């Protein structure tokens, strides 16, 4: 290369750079003398004196910057945030104030608007306002007379009538507001009662030729229940004595009556039950029982020419154990009973023995139940026993020793407390030592059902099957089925009506006699208070026998008072 070419290239570059240096010098001087920024028009005093080069100067563009900023080409604009605009935090004053209460800004509250016919809330409780009504108070269409009757004064704090006082918790409604209260003796709750009634019986001796007599009944009761966290002891003793104003009149022809002249008779049924909780799943049980009665009036077991009924006494006990295996429960027990009859006193002044009717019974009972589901518990029960009489041959020359029992299956249930109880069906039989006495057997039905139809109406159904001894020659025994339907209705809590219908059959196996019994009764109970009740009873009884001369009928009317505590 030649030298002139290099000098011309350098001169051309210098001439191009000279104007650029002049522009840089002019622009730098103008920037130091005039700098117009959005802060220049701000109302804050500090923004006018802050140096543009100060590190404290705001660098985030404000709203005015966005408005005055020149628009960028479409391709150079920043993309919008996918999460939206940046949120602004902070709450204005009094933003959490409710429609009622204190407002820090002292704003005027707007009254709520109600639709036409809409119920408006009551004003808050304050001086001069009536006491509040608890929300859990049961509404009643009418006020019973007991609410407006004169009562002892109650402190306002206890009655819940203090202005501004929170409503008191309502107690559970008493299912039996006129029931006995009882007293505590140590850890036992004791309830006692006695009922005295008087009336008239149109056929006191249940004779074919009826003889009516005035009667009275005295029936005491005693109940003691333990109040222990573990174990239990219950004593339930109930008895009665039925007396008549006078004896029956003997037959004019001198033949003996089929009923005693003195038809007074006692009755007692009591038992004491105990339970010992060995563990959560193991319990020992025991029961002692006593039954005192006489032969039923009109029964063929009643001897002719008696002066009074012989009294029978049955004393027994059961000892057992209950074991639970989760939902499965197994119960077993051993039983022993002793039955004794007093001597029969005849109208001629003599007496005859009833030792051939005395016997001892030994046996056992077992029961297996399974808690299938809440409210349903099926079970199977088996019982066996042996009866040994004091005298081998009875007055007719028959050996009455026997052995037998029953087997039944059923279920206990509870459906919403509306239908509760137990029902079972099975088979009962008894074999006798004497070959001349046939086997006593038949269908066994036992049930106890309670149906609460309404809060004021309750229906009950009972049925029972028993095998009893007899003194009739050639007759094995009596298979008895009894069924009872009862309906209780409360017109008021203090006025109750009870209707009852009973029917049954008595099968004298080995004898052609067949008896049917019917009974219809109505009771009205007026409960004056928890301690005194008044009761009126009207009852009609029938005994229909297939043998002529043995059918009877009677009507009983009684009025009594019950005193309980």
Over range 131-137, report the average pLDDT.
Answer: 52
Distances (CA, A) of 279 to 232, 282, 283, 286, 327: 14, 5, 7, 16, 16
Q: Is pLDDT at 292 greater than 70 in this prediction? A: yes
pLDDT in tens, 147-164: 667 777 777 777 777 777
**pTM of the predicted structure, to 2 decimals:** 0.69
Model confidence at 52, pLDDT cuts 50, 70, 90, reads low
pLDDT in tens, 57-80: 555 444 444 445 555 555 555 555
User: In DSSP terms, which residues pair with 366 in a beta bridge?
Assistant: 332, 382
Q: Which of 453, 443, 515, 446 is nearest to 486 (CA)?
A: 453
Report the C-alpha gap between 557 and 539 in whole angstroms: 7
CA of residue 525 relative to chain centroid, distance:
24
Q: Is pLDDT at 415 greater than 80 in this prediction? A: no
Q: Is pLDDT at 436 greater than 50 in this prediction? A: yes
Report the C-alpha gap between 455 and 322 in whole angstroms: 35
């Amino acid at each position: 290369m030649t030298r002139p070419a290099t000098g011309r290239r350098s001169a051309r570059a210098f001439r191009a750079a000279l104007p650029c240096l002049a522009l840089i010098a002019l622009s730098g001087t103008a920037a130091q003398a005039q700098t117009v920024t959005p802060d220049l028009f701000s109302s804050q005093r500090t923004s006018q004196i802050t140096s543009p080069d100060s590190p404290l100067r705001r660098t985030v563009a404000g709203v005015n910057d966005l408005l005055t900023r020149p628009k960028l080409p479409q391709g150079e604009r920043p993309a919008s945030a996918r999460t939206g605009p940046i949120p602004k935090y902070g709450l204005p004053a009094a933003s959490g104030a409710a429609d009622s209460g204190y407002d820090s800004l002292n704003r005027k509250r707007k009254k709520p608007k109600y639709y036409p016919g809409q119920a408006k809330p009551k004003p808050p409780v304050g001086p001069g306002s009536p006491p509040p009504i608890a929300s859990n108070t049961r509404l009643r269409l009418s006020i019973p007379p007991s609410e407006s009757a004169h009562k002892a004064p109650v402190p306002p704090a206890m009655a819940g009538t203090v202005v501004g006082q929170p409503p008191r918790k309502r107690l559970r409604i008493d299912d039996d507001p006129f029931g006995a209260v009882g007293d505590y003796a140590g850890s036992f709750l004791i309830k006692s009662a006695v009922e005295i009634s008087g009336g008239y019986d149109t056929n006191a001796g249940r004779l074919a030729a009826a003889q009516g007599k005035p009667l009275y009944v005295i029936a005491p009761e005693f109940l003691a229940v333990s109040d222990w966290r573990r174990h239990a002891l219950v004593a339930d003793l109930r008895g009665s004595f039925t007396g008549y104003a006078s004896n029956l009149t003997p037959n004019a022809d001198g033949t003996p009556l089929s009923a005693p002249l003195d038809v007074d008779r006692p009755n007692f049924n009591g038992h004491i039950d105990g339970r010992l909780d060995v563990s959560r799943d193991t319990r020992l049980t025991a029961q002692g029982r006593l039954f005192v009665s006489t032969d039923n009036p009109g029964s063929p077991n009643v001897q002719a020419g008696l002066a009074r009924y012989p009294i029978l006494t049955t004393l027994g006990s059961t000892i057992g154990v209950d074991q639970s295996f989760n939902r499965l429960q197994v119960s077993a027990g051993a039983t022993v009973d002793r039955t004794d009859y007093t001597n029969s006193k005849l109208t001629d002044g003599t007496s005859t023995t009833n030792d051939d009717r005395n016997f001892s019974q030994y046996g056992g009972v077992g029961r297996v139940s399974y808690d299938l589901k809440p409210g349903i518990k099926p079970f199977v029960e088996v019982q066996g026993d042996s009866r040994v009489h004091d005298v081998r041959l009875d007055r007719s020359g028959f050996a009455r020793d026997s052995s037998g029992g029953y087997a039944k299956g059923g279920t206990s249930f509870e459906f919403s407390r509306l239908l509760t109880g137990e029902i079972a069906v099975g088979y009962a039989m008894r074999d006798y030592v004497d070959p001349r006495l046939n086997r006593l057997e038949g269908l066994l039905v036992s049930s106890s059902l309670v149906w609460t139809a309404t809060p004021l109406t309750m229906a009950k159904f009972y049925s029972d099957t028993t095998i009893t001894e007899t003194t009739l020659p050639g007759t094995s025994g009596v298979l008895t089925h009894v069924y009872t339907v009862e309906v209780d209705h409360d017109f008021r809590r203090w006025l109750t009506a009870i209707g009852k219908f009973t029917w049954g059959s008595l099968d004298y196996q080995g004898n052609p006699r067949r008896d049917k019994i019917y009974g219809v009764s109505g009771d009205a109970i007026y409960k004056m208070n928890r301690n005194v009740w008044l009761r009126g009873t009207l009852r009609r009884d029938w005994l229909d026998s297939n043998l002529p001369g043995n059918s009877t009928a009677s009507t009983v009317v009684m009025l009594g008072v019950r005193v309980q505590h």
